[in-house]
A = this chain, B = another copy of it.
Amino acid sequence: MSDIITLAHGSGGKLTHDLIRDIFIKHFSNDILTRAEDSAVLDVEAGRLAFTTDSFVITPVFFKGGDIGKLAVCGTVNDLAASGARPLYLGCGFIIEEAFPIRQLEEIAASMAETAAGCGVKIVAGDTKVVQRGAADKIFINTSGIGIIPEGINISASNAKPGDSVIITGTIGDHGCSILLEREMLGIKADIKSDCAALSGLTGSVLPLYPRLHVMRDPTRGGVAAALNEIASQSGVCIRLYENALPVREDVMGVCGLLGMEPLYMANEGKMLIIAPADISRGILDRLKKHEHGKDSAIIGEVLEAPSKRVLMTTLAGGDRIIEMPSGDQLPRIC
């Protein structure tokens, strides 16, 4: 086997099959994938399925706290988890630039396999394309996922109600800040790493106890600001944040201060926003804090009736500020 990916690895012929066997089947191995059919065949019970897709184009491919493979599994698992689903199956599509090192591809596959196994998810379908040098930047990964939504769960970005509390499951801005530092050669020394994590274990520890919670959304691109604006808009409510309650790591705050950026607008890859009736929000918070991915959970705001479709923030100074949907180009290729 050569050291680098060649166009022949994407031809559908012998080298494609060798690559699938030696990298993907080797790491992802399960009874469904190894059948090598045109589609994976899944036995399902009657009920509600969650289905989602996400592409990952992050640069750099390897970063502090993860790599594109771990991110691709976490991202889709978290979208399923945000719908209240138990994630079960993933499909992954690789677009690889000619000359990408096979050793790095194997590292990425191993990382995907480990992350998937960690949340009980099987990678059951895959596809590999190779493009000429310069036609893509190293590697892009799409993951699509299927999960099962337990009965009685009704989570939607349209469900926020006045009186609800807004919870975040930990510190904000870690992923965006860490990628910014890795990429921009700013000469800033800070030990910030991506929060990249699969959250289905965390949400699964809360949902059976609090099936009545209203909204979950993972605040990735566009950060907490974008996710809350989406929810405010879809639910027709106002969301008020308390700046003094936002959990932000000191070093993240420091870097953001230096660069004139705001953690509220920075991507997270291991955090969930949860909106729930106030009477159960304290119980949810206690439960979240018991989980390794929820230790820094906090109630960061509340849902009001008006001004509808708006996100406001009560600042440290005690004033009110509108938190807009981000509108310019944020840091590209953050996920």
Residues of B within 8 A of A39 (CB): 50-52, 79-80, 82-83, 85, 145, 147
Given contacts A79-B39, A91-B144, A140-B95, contact A10 B48 (CB under 8 A): no
From residue A50, how far is it (CB to closest CB) to chain B in Å?
A: 4
Residues of B within 8 A of A185 (CB): none
Residues of B within 8 A of A131 (CB): 57, 137, 332-333
Cβ of A42 within 8 Å of any chain B Cβ, yes or no, is yes
**Interchain CB contact under 8 A, A13 and B327:** yes
Residues of B within 8 A of A330 (CB): 8, 11-13
**Interchain CB contact under 8 A, B93 and A55:** yes
Residues of B within 8 A of A137 (CB): 131, 134-136
**Interchain CB contact under 8 A, A51 and B14:** no
Complex interface: stretch among A113-121, A220-228, A256-264, A306-314:
A220-228
Residues of B within 8 A of A335 (CB): 129
Cβ of A70 within 8 Å of any chain B Cβ, yes or no, is no
**11 A-B pairs (CB sep. < 8 Å):** A10-B221, A14-B327, A15-B327, A35-B158, A38-B83, A42-B50, A43-B48, A51-B91, A93-B144, A136-B136, A146-B146
